[in-house]
Amino acid sequence: MTPSLLKLLRSVDTPTVCNAIEVAQGQRGFDRFTRGTMLCSAPDELAIVGYARTAKIAAVAPPSEEPEVIKTRRMAYYEYMASASDPSVVVIEDTDFPDCIGAFWGEINTTVHKGFGLAGTLTNGVMRDLGDVPTGYPVVAGSIGPSHGFVHVKEIKTPVEVFGLRVSEGDLIHADRHGAVVVPTDVYNSIEAAISKLLATENLILEPAKREGFDFKAFQAAWEEFEKQRT
């Protein structure tokens, strides 16, 4: 990813990226996005953008494996996250979903992962300590709760699912207060131009609508031009 593309992707919201993918592909029907309403720890910060580092956790019940196995896997998890190249995003599936109770994402883990250089977290699980999550490390999560339960790492580097979105290690993620999308590899070279085209096309409607005296006749003329350009 070029620095200019990373800067652009971080500056736009996830709905814009979702639409731009369809512009780049020249058709509607893109469906690699989350379903349902998610929560964001920092809705006014820039979008989370990066390549996925994946894992699975659980928290409702105590782990059934030996403590040494759990400890070893926990350290392997942190080593895996610490070795991520920039930019990277943590994507965690809580296997207790939809009955998640254990907040893996509080002050300590968000601070640690930000220290590792990761861009943020996408999870179907729980977050907490919202007043203490460090600036510049947004979490997009399924819920908010007070407890960590029996939270423990179950798997590392495996495919995960978050609100209907299947994610594999290395997938390019874009996430914000609206949810998340996986940017398909076939648009990596065209998404920057597609975003520019999309924004220009939307302005064919937005700019006239903001002018004084905007009426149905002005809308009709603007919409006809908009229809010619949009995907």
Residue ranges per domain, the chain? 32-185, 191-229
pLDDT for 229: 84
pLDDT over 80 at 231, yes or no: no
Instruction: Measure the CA–CA gap between 16 and 20, rounded to whole angstroms.
Output: 6
SS (H, E, C) 157-197: CCCEEECCEEECCCCEEEEECCEEEEECHHHCCCHHHHHHH
CA dist list (Å): 17 to 57, 112, 129, 203? 29, 29, 29, 16
- pLDDT the model gives residue 35: 97
Structural tokens at position 27: 């058709």
Q: Which of 131, 61, 117, 116 is nearest to 87 (CA)?
A: 117
Q: Each residue of 138-162: pLDDT tens digit?
A: 999 999 999 999 999 999 999 999 9
Task: Say how many Å lie between the first and final Cα of the chain, rounded.
Answer: 25
Residue 10 has pLDDT above 80, yes or no: yes
3-state helix, strand and coil shares in percent for the chain, rounded to the nearest 5: 35, 25, 40
pLDDT (0 to 100) of residue 177:
98
pLDDT at 228: 87
Pairing label, strands 165-167, 152-156: unpaired
Task: With cut-offs at 50, 70 and 90, classify the pLDDT of residue 176.
Answer: very high
Average pLDDT of the chain is 96
CATH for 32-185 is: 3.50.30.40
